[in-house]
Amino acid sequence: MKLYGYRNGRTLRALWALEEIGAPYEYVEVDIMRGQGREPWFLKINPGGKVPVLDDAGTVITESAAICMHLAEKHPKSRLLPPAATPERTACYKWISFILTELDAPLWTIAKHRFVLPEERRVSAVIDTAGWEFRVAVKILATGLGNRPYLVGDALTVADILAGHVLQWAKSARLALDDDNLETYLRALTARDAFKRANKTTS
């Protein structure tokens, strides 16, 4: 397996899943800040020009959540997804969708309007609204988690990998989590050996 990625971003999700399952992989850094994502060799792999991208024996997967779910399906012993067609699997799908649409989306909006978009496209008022949207959504996550160590069942799933990533992203974007359980949850996730190995690769 080959993972194309760039540090400090959603690549961490894919690396973390790879480290949790313990399968061998090669990591290829694509320096998106220096335009490598727009180079012809990379556009052949992902015409969207974005990372992460996983090449699993010729199956090329874009989208960080899809990569994590693909890895979980192919390595069921990792238990990164609960068994198919169970209420736990459905709960996992629910949280994955929620995290992507309600937490990743406002964080991405904030990043875009702070530094990603060309200056003439940035609208600073949007940042405040997106911050408010994030705070509303993160309360729902906190309520769903309660004081449990995982979002679904009694083991780490893809939902926790995505949640851990967005919570860490929020903190680095100076957004407070305002919830002791979420802080404890994030501390435990980032203390995992697999997380530390993945984080080292991208930092």
Cα 114 to chain centroid, rounded: 20
Tokens of 97: 């969708």
Residue 101 backbone dihedrals phi, psi, to 5 degrees: -90, -30
Question: Least distance in Å: CB of 192 to ligand GSH?
Answer: 21
**Quick one: 10 or 70, whose CB is closer to ligand GSH?**
10
- Give the C-alpha separation, 89 to 55, whole Å: 25
Please say whether the beta carbons of 170 and 138 come within 8 A. Answer: yes
Please say whether the beta carbons of 20 and 77 come within 8 A. Answer: no
Q: What residues form DSSP beta bridges with 60? A: 55
Tell me the residue nearest to ligand GSH as measured from the CB: 9
> Is position 37 an interface residue for ligand GSH (rule: CB under 6 A)?
yes
- In the range 72-111, which residues lie near ligand GSH by CB under 6 A? none
Question: Least distance in Å: CB of 152 to ligand GSH?
Answer: 20
One residue of 1, 2, 7, 9 binding ligand GSH per CB under 6 A: 9
One residue of 50, 70, 113, 192 binding ligand GSH per CB under 6 A: 50
Give start and end residues of each alpha helix (H) in the chain.
11-21, 40-45, 64-74, 87-98, 105-111, 124-145, 158-172, 180-190, 193-202
- Name the one range near ligand GSH by CB under 6 A: 43-51, 126-134, 154-162, 163-171: 43-51
> Is position 202 an interface residue for ligand GSH (rule: CB under 6 A)?
no
- In the range 15-34, which residues lie near ligand GSH by CB under 6 A? 32
Which single residue is written with the structure tokens 């973390």?
A: 16
**Quick one: 28 or 188, whose CB is closer to ligand GSH?**
28
Q: Measuring CA to CA, how many Å separate 47 from each of 54, 65, 179, 187?
A: 14, 18, 40, 36
**Quick one: 133 or 183, whose CB is closer to ligand GSH?**
133
> Is position 51 an interface residue for ligand GSH (rule: CB under 6 A)?
yes
Residue ranges binding ligand GSH (CB under 6 A): 6, 9-10, 32, 37, 49-52, 63-64
